[in-house]
Structure 1
Amino acid sequence: MKTRAIGLMSGTSLDGLDICFAEFDKTDNQWHFKIIEAETIPYSEKWENNLRNSIHLSSADLLALNSDYGFYLGEKVQDFIKSKNISKVNLIASHGHTVFHQPQRKFTQQIGDGRAVKLVNSIPVVYDFRSQDVLMGGNGAPLVPIGDELLFSEYDACLNLGGFSNISFKKMDKRIAFDICPVNIVLNKISQDLGKNFDENGDLARTGKVDSNLLEKLNNLEFYNQQHPKSLGIEFCNQHIFPLLENIDSLTALATFTEHSAFQISNIFNKNQFKKALFTGGGTYNSYLIEKIQSKTSAEIIIPEKTIIDFKEALIFAFMGVLRMNNEINVLSSATGSSSDHSSGIIA
């Protein structure tokens, strides 16, 4: 039976709300998907500031923002449905926007109350996909590997280049997944110091010089020696990355951090001897970063059509919502480190 779902994703890089409307169907024990409509809604300056500063809010103000952002999501979905003349939607699956992510302390917080989304649209909503996994001893991330496993299994590895780079791949019949390193969350911040929202095509980094001393410090961070499963949040950057970049020329910082990201990503590729890897996420448009990665690995880098690059995460959250409504496994313990595979998400 075909299920039509809308997936919502707001990433750490704050470039906007991704909305993906897709149809899912299972035949001969194999899942298939078709993206029907997809759009990124850029955040207004007000909403970008609200979300960026949410980590500093009092408890009461954060609870208020959780509700406000839920209604914002609901209204954006309503606008999307009207503007695209969409007639039938079985469910909405919302990732929300991450404020806190501290699985070692048994919590993660994605704001955007799913009940508010449902009140606006009168369509079942699945939300808060991460908390259950964290309570079960997992990292609550990455969650996308279930989609890589069931929708994109023809690739040796699936790499997402977003605020952070994360990867998933099959190893000894288990889907392994983890965050590799920060990418756009750092590159965008440095670019903003230069008056740009991001480093388009990596053109700024291309003009900078790599600082070998800084590169060594970045590559020696303890996180890179830890075994998976492991995940990253803004806290890691605030504590370990940004202090190293203080008093460094911005172009040098961009060139060096691009080199660092390429090194860490290619290192994983070479260790696991991937032959073919699917690249998605906003960082895929950074041609300098892609060149750097390709120069360090023999793996074939597959860059798909634009819709998949931009909306794969939102697509997979829609898919996770479908699995949750069917009470099927949508989180893999081999990826997150939780005590078992499980079906996660609160249904409104």
Structure 2
Amino acid sequence: MMLTALGLMSGTSLDGVDVALIETDGKQVKSFGPSGYRPYTNAERNLLRQALTEAVHLSHRDARPGILAEAERAVTLAHAEAVAAFTAQNHITPEEIDIVGFHGQTVLHRPERKLTVQIGDALALAKAIHIPVMYDFRAADVAAGGQGAPFVPVYHRALTQSLEREGPTVVVNIGGVSNITYIDGTDTLIACDTGPGNALLDDYMFRVMSQPFDCDGRFAAQGRADEAWIARALELPFFALPPPKSLDRNDFAALKLGDVAPADGAATLTAFTAYAITRVAPLLPKVPKSWIVAGGGARNLTMLRMLRQRVAPATVEAADALGWSPDAIEAQAFGFLAVRGMKGLPLSYPATTGVPIPMTGGVIARP
């Protein structure tokens, strides 16, 4: 049975709330509905940055000391506003939506401690928008010994099955962290985080240029990447680990560029992200024939160019060239996952998160 699901995603880039409507039975996507976006204000973004700093000390996933309680209220309100604006703009009533998939804002991801923390009050959100809300997608996976990420692979598989591509395809999602899904036919689904996404570059642009990100990769295009620095960074043990593996947004924050020209710094961090993505290729069963790039990084033309150079003769395409909406994919995915969760279908697998058996997940909050 097809259900109408509204997915909400606030990623590690801390840019805002993505909203997307899909019609799905949890296995196939019947249709894409409209999508929307509610940016975080500068004050909200600063609050979330403080929350990320404070969350490092958390030992219990339900604790909200100090600034984290304030940040949770802000996240919940931002999501409620995002849904209200989206439904009003698209003339959709709450009764027309069967389920909302609410990821929340990740502030800490430490699967080795069986700890993953997403802030956002699902019950308060359900009451505000008058629609059932499924949330807490990652907890069951992490509690069972999985990495708790990445969680979008089952949706990537549903999307790529409609393309009928020859040979293995990799879908790359470049958010704050980068992750890949390797799809080869209907059987093989492998996924992992690959390294930094936009987080290092965005933080650098904010610190050095007072800009939230490098628009289209134009700034990095003016610089020269420090290949020796990248080679040293890629010697970190994480990059040699086989999938599945996952990261926290700040796992590479300790890497320092030193005294370099700003454009060279941006070029180096852009190349580091691209090279880290391609480093996963030798760890996969077969060499991928095509790479499809989604997430915020799909708009970074310099990053796409660097990826193409590294994986040739394989093809590299931005997701929007295939009719996908790169900005909405993660939000769509959490709508898809909400329907899978309702039906008791697996959200994660041994080869995507390292969980011992295929795991379902999610909890429903009713208005």
TM-score, normalised with respect to structure 1: 0.92
1:332 — aligned with what? 349
Inter-partner Cα distance in structure 1 for 2:300 and 2:74: 34
**What is the one-letter code of the residue matched to 1:62?**
L
**What is the one-letter code of the residue matched to 2:189?**
R
Deviations 1:102-148 (A, max 9, x none): 00001100111111110102211000111111100001000001112
**Structure 1 position 96, deviation (Å):** 0.6
Deviations 1:186-228 (A, max 9, x none): 1111222123221122121121122233122212112111122
Inter-partner Cα distance in structure 2 for 1:147 and 1:249: 40
Asked if 1:135 corresponds to 2:135, the answer is no
Counterpart among 72, 76, 90 of residue 98 in structure 2: 90
- Residues 195/138 of structure 1: CA separation in 2 closer, same or farther (3 Å cut): same
Inter-partner Cα distance in structure 2 for 1:263 and 1:235: 18
Asked if 1:119 corresponds to 2:127, the answer is yes
For the residue of structure 2 that corresponds to 1:142, the secondary structure is coil
1:150 — aligned with what? 158
Inter-partner Cα distance in structure 2 for 1:218 and 1:310: 29
Asked if 1:55 corresponds to 2:52, the answer is yes
1:274 — aligned with what? 288
Q: Is the 8 A contact 1:18 1:314 kept in 2?
A: yes
Inter-partner Cα distance in structure 2 for 1:19 and 1:143: 17
For the residue of structure 2 that corresponds to 1:140, the secondary structure is coil
For the residue of structure 1 that corresponds to 2:303, the secondary structure is helix
Counterpart among 203, 210, 217 of residue 202 in structure 1: 217
Query: What is the 5 A alignment of 1:33-48?
Result: 33-48=30-45
Inter-partner Cα distance in structure 2 for 1:140 and 1:310: 22
Inter-partner Cα distance in structure 2 for 1:259 and 1:61: 35
Counterpart among 328, 334, 345 of residue 317 in structure 1: 334
Asked if 1:99 corresponds to 2:113, the answer is no
For the residue of structure 2 that corresponds to 1:96, the secondary structure is strand
Q: Is the 8 A contact 1:19 1:40 kept in 2?
A: yes
2:59 — aligned with what? none
Inter-partner Cα distance in structure 1 for 2:42 and 2:154: 34
**What is the one-letter code of the residue matched to 1:319?**
F
- Residues 25/128 of structure 1: CA separation in 2 closer, same or farther (3 Å cut): closer
Mind listing any 5+ residue stretches in structure 2 that lack a counterpart?
Answer: 55-63
- Residues 160/290 of structure 1: CA separation in 2 closer, same or farther (3 Å cut): same
Identity of aligned residues (%): 31
For the residue of structure 2 that corresponds to 1:6, the secondary structure is strand
2:183 — aligned with what? 170
For the residue of structure 2 that corresponds to 1:278, the secondary structure is strand
Farther off after superposition, 13-22 or 214-223? 214-223
Inter-partner Cα distance in structure 2 for 1:146 and 1:211: 36
Mind listing any 5+ residue stretches in structure 1 that lack a counterpart?
Answer: none
**What is the one-letter code of the residue matched to 1:15?**
D
Counterpart among 241, 255, 259 of residue 271 in structure 2: 259
Asked if 1:301 corresponds to 2:339, the answer is no
Inter-partner Cα distance in structure 2 for 1:201 and 1:65: 30
C-alpha RMSD of the superposition: 2.0
2:21 — aligned with what? 21
**Structure 1 position 25, deviation (Å):** 4.4
Q: Is the 8 A contact 1:67 1:116 kept in 2?
A: no
**Structure 1 position 314, deviation (Å):** 0.6
Asked if 1:236 corresponds to 2:251, the answer is yes
For the residue of structure 1 that corresponds to 2:19, the secondary structure is strand
TM-score, normalised with respect to structure 2: 0.87
- Residues 72/196 of structure 1: CA separation in 2 closer, same or farther (3 Å cut): closer
Q: Is the 8 A contact 1:38 1:307 kept in 2?
A: no
**Structure 1 position 67, deviation (Å):** 4.0
For the residue of structure 2 that corresponds to 1:101, the secondary structure is strand
Deviations 1:36-64 (A, max 9, x none): 11011111112111212112347244234
Inter-partner Cα distance in structure 1 for 2:53 and 2:225: 33
**What is the one-letter code of the residue matched to 1:20?**
A
- Residues 11/268 of structure 1: CA separation in 2 closer, same or farther (3 Å cut): same
**Structure 1 position 171, deviation (Å):** 6.0
**Structure 1 position 93, deviation (Å):** 0.4
Q: Is the 8 A contact 1:108 1:130 kept in 2?
A: yes
- Residues 273/13 of structure 1: CA separation in 2 closer, same or farther (3 Å cut): same
**Structure 1 position 296, deviation (Å):** 1.6
**Structure 1 position 68, deviation (Å):** 4.3
1:184 — aligned with what? 198
1:283 — aligned with what? 297
Alignment length (residue pairs): 342
Farther off after superposition, 70-79 or 177-186? 70-79
**What is the one-letter code of the residue matched to 1:347?**
I
For the residue of structure 1 that corresponds to 2:68, the secondary structure is helix
- Residues 229/270 of structure 1: CA separation in 2 closer, same or farther (3 Å cut): closer
**Structure 1 position 160, deviation (Å):** 0.7
1:10 — aligned with what? 10
**Structure 1 position 2, deviation (Å):** 2.3
